[in-house]
Copies of this chain bind each other. A is one copy, B any other.
C-alpha cells in the first residue's frame, strides 16, 4: 500500500467529500425550488395555502379574493367577532340568525381540504359550449343523477335536467315554461303561506304579460273551474317552517313547481323519491355553497324542459362553466367518501345537535314555542327519523306579544319576521344553518330570555318584563366560545 494507496484513498475521499457537498448543495437548493413534479400550478397552490393558513381564531376565514392588507387578504369574521384575527368578541352584539347562509357545512369542507381543492387553469373551458353543443356539463349531470340515486330523494330516470344560477333562476324559468304561449292569456302564480317570499317578489318584479302573482292558494281551492293555468309553488320541506308540504291545488289546470332546496337528509327524513313533474334543487342547502349559485331542475315534460333551456340561454347563456367545474369537484368529493353518505351524516348530526340544544332552552318556556316537527320513515337512513329543519319557526305565546320579531330583537336576536313569509310577526324564523358562533349566540340569548321568564314566574317578576331583558342584553358578557 503506502503512499500510492494513501493517494488513491485521498483522491477517493476528496471526490466523496466533493460529492457530498454537491448533493448537499443540490438538496439545499432544491428543497426550496424543487417542485416535486409540479410546474405551472405551484405558485397558485402556494398562494392558496398561504391564504388558508391565515389565522382568524376560529371565528372567521380569509379568502383568496378578500380585501388585502399588505400582501395578504384580511380575515372576514363571523358576526359579533372582529379585530385583525377575529378574536375580539363584541358583548353588545346581537345574534344574527336572519339569513339562510348555510355555513354550518363549512367545517365539513375544511376537514376535506385536499379532497375538495380545485385547480383551474387560465385556459379552462373558455368557449360557450360543451362538445355536445349544450352549456350543461355531462359529467356534472351524471354526478347529480348518482347523488339522487344514493339519497333516494328524486326520481331522475327518464327525466331531463336543466342547470340554473341557484334555484332562484330556475323558479322563474319554471313559471315561464309552465305558462302557456297563448297571446292575451296569462297564468296565475300562487303559494300557501307561510312561504318563501321570492316566489311573489320575483313573479311581480319580472311582471310578464304571460303570468301574474295572485296570492294564496286558499283563494283558488274553490276556483277549480278556472280555465286558465294556475301554477302553485310548493316548498317541501317548507321555508320557513320545515313542513313536508304537498300541492294544495289539484286538477287539469293546476301545475306544481316543487322547490326541493331542503329535501336532503340534513334537514328531513326522506319518505320517498319525488316523482313529480318539476322539482328544483340547489347546491346551497346541499353542500353549503350558497355563493356558487348553482341549482338544477328535474323535469318530466320535454316541452317544459326545452322552454326552460331557452330561458337559461336568453337570460344568462347557461350557468358559468367555472361554477359547473366547482360544483362537479364538490359532488365528486362527496361521492368519493362513504358512497356519498358522509356529508349527510355530518349535516344531520350538526342539525340534530342544534335542535336538541334549541329545544332544551325553549322547552321550559311558556312564553315561546317552536313548531312541531314530524317523524317519518327515511329511505336514506332506513329508519324512522325526526325532522331537523333548517329554521326554527318560533312563536310568541303571550297574547300581547304579537310582534314576536320585535320581542326577540329587543333581546338581541335578529330573526326574520313572519310577515316576510306572508304570515304574521307572531312567528319569527330563526336560521339554524349559519356558523356555530351564530348558533351558540342565539342559544345564549334565548337562554337569557327564558331564564328571565322563569325568574319572573318564580319571584313574581320585577314588573318591567322586556325592558329588563334589554338591560340584560346590554350588559351581556361574552361567554367562553367553544370553537
**When each residue 279-322 of chain A gets 1 if its CB lies under 8 Å from chain B and 0 otherwise, what string results?**
00000000011111110000000000000001100111111111
Cross-chain contact A205 with B65 (CB below 8 angstroms): no
The B-contacting residues of A in range 206-235, CB under 8 angstroms, are 206-210
Say yes or no for A119: interface residue by CB 8 A criterion. Answer: yes
The contact size tier of chain A is 35 or more
Pick the residue among B43, B68, B325 that contacts A114 (CB under 8 A). B43
Say yes or no for A266: interface residue by CB 8 A criterion. Answer: no
Pick the residue among B16, B201, B202 that contacts A16 (CB under 8 A). B16
Which of A39, A101, A169, A316 neighbours the largest number of chain B CB atoms within 10 Å of its CB?
A316
Say yes or no for A106: interface residue by CB 8 A criterion. Answer: yes
The B-contacting residues of A in range 152-210, CB under 8 angstroms, are 164-166, 168-169, 172, 176, 198, 201-202, 205-210
Cross-chain contact B198 with A314 (CB below 8 angstroms): yes
| Residue numbers in B under 8 Å from A395 (CB-CB) | none
Cross-chain contact B122 with A172 (CB below 8 angstroms): no
Say yes or no for A277: interface residue by CB 8 A criterion. Answer: no
Say yes or no for A374: interface residue by CB 8 A criterion. Answer: no
Cross-chain contact A122 with B113 (CB below 8 angstroms): yes
Say yes or no for A112: interface residue by CB 8 A criterion. Answer: yes
Which of A114, A202, A210, A322 neighbours the largest number of chain B CB atoms within 10 Å of its CB?
A322
Q: Which residue of B lies closest to A41 (CB)?
A: B45
Report Cα–Cα, A401/B222, bound state, in Å. 63
A309 to nearest B CB, angstroms? 12
Say yes or no for A19: interface residue by CB 8 A criterion. Answer: yes
Say yes or no for A246: interface residue by CB 8 A criterion. Answer: no
Report Cα–Cα, A292/B280, bound state, in Å. 23
A66 to nearest B CB, angstroms? 7
Say yes or no for A47: interface residue by CB 8 A criterion. Answer: yes
| Residue numbers in B under 8 Å from A166 (CB-CB) | 316-317
| Residue numbers in B under 8 Å from A294 (CB-CB) | 320
Q: Which residue of B lies closest to A39 (CB)?
A: B49
Cross-chain contact B127 with A101 (CB below 8 angstroms): yes
Say yes or no for A69: interface residue by CB 8 A criterion. Answer: no
Say yes or no for A110: interface residue by CB 8 A criterion. Answer: yes
The B-contacting residues of A in range 379-404, CB under 8 angstroms, are none
Report Cα–Cα, A10/B129, bound state, in Å. 70
The B-contacting residues of A in range 129-149, CB under 8 angstroms, are 129, 131, 135, 137-140
**When each residue 79-120 of chain A gets 1 if its CB lies under 8 Å from chain B and 0 otherwise, what string results?**
000000000000000000001011101100110111111111
A74 to nearest B CB, angstroms? 9
Instruction: Assess A110 versus B125: contact at CB under 8 Å? Given A38-B49, A139-B66.
Output: no
Cross-chain contact A293 with B316 (CB below 8 angstroms): yes
Say yes or no for A324: interface residue by CB 8 A criterion. Answer: yes
Report Cα–Cα, A120/B65, bound state, in Å. 10
Cross-chain contact B36 with A52 (CB below 8 angstroms): no
Cross-chain contact B117 with A44 (CB below 8 angstroms): yes
Cross-chain contact A126 with B36 (CB below 8 angstroms): no
Say yes or no for A67: interface residue by CB 8 A criterion. Answer: yes
The B-contacting residues of A in range 2-31, CB under 8 angstroms, are 5-6, 9-10, 12-13, 16-17, 19-20, 23-24, 26-27, 31
Cross-chain contact A65 with B330 (CB below 8 angstroms): no
A189 to nearest B CB, angstroms? 14
Say yes or no for A373: interface residue by CB 8 A criterion. Answer: no
Pick the residue among B41, B99, B116, B324 that contacts A121 (CB under 8 A). B116
For the A-B complex with A37-B49, A64-B121 known, give 7 more contacts whose Cβ atoms are closer than 8 Å.
A16-B19, A36-B36, A65-B328, A101-B128, A127-B290, A128-B291, A293-B318
**Please, could you name 6 A-B residue pairs with CB atoms under 8 Å apart, sorted by A?**
A20-B20, A38-B46, A41-B114, A64-B120, A205-B310, A206-B206
Q: List the 5 closest A-B pairs by CB distance, nearest first.
A: A116-B122, A48-B119, A40-B113, A291-B321, A16-B16
